[in-house]
Amino acid sequence: MVGPSGSGKSTLLHIVGTLDRPTAGRVRIAGHDIAALSDRSLSALRSRHVGFVFQSFHLVPGISARANVAEGLLYSGLSRAERGRRAAEALERVGLGDRMGHRPHELSGGQKQRVAIARAVAGAPDLLLADEPTGALDTASGESVMELLHELNRDGATIAVITHDHEIAASLPRQVRIRDGEIVADVRSRAAGAGVAS
């Protein structure tokens, strides 16, 4: 999803990801109307079906990368040991197997974003929503994160990227353009593969 600041991209992501409830219409996730669910039930549903990656990482400062990823599985119903195992596996998958014990202040911006991506994919969600995932990164780190998202997509993950960066949007297979809260275009790219939407 691409559009200028204030166009409604993040609002749409928050509604699709069940972080906000719509003022009109319905959002159904895995057959559940989100308006009918309690906050706790909604958190559990989100934990099983939707992963989030935000520009500002949202990592807990005083705990390790592994603990940050495991924390994302708290509502999954998994045992503590299983959450730790899946966290380690997700960190290996994003190339941070050697940084599991590092705390956020010991990681670069690109590494923090990889921890955030590991947290998002640890529960094997049906959909990964990435809100400006390269916005806080330098060019090299941003390219590395985008390559990781492409790799996860090739492995079967469905990913929606929200960005105002037209270069990033152009590298993805589909662009849904938003302006003033309205979808103004929905364009598929011939160059890119399927599954990652911007």
Q: Is residue 1 part of a domain?
A: no
CATH at 113:
3.40.50.300
User: What's this model's pTM, rounded to 2 decimal places?
Assistant: 0.81
Number of domains in the chain: 1
Q: Is residue 139 part of a domain?
A: yes
> pLDDT value at position 100?
97
Distance CA 167, CA 169 (A): 5
Q: Is residue 4 part of a domain?
A: no
pLDDT tens string 60-76: 999 999 999 999 888 78
Rg of the chain over Cα atoms, rounded to whole angstroms, equals 16
Categorise residue 26: left if φ over 0, alpha if ψ from -120 to 50, beta otherwise: beta
pLDDT tens string 139-158: 888 888 888 888 888 888 88
Q: Is residue 2 part of a domain?
A: no
Q: Is residue 152 part of a domain?
A: yes
Q: Which of the given ranges, 5-9, 16-20, 66-70, 192-196, has the highest pLDDT on average? A: 66-70
Largest CA distance in the chain: 47
In the block, which residue shows the tokens 């990652």? 196
Q: Is residue 86 part of a domain?
A: yes
Q: Which domain holds residue 81?
A: 9-197
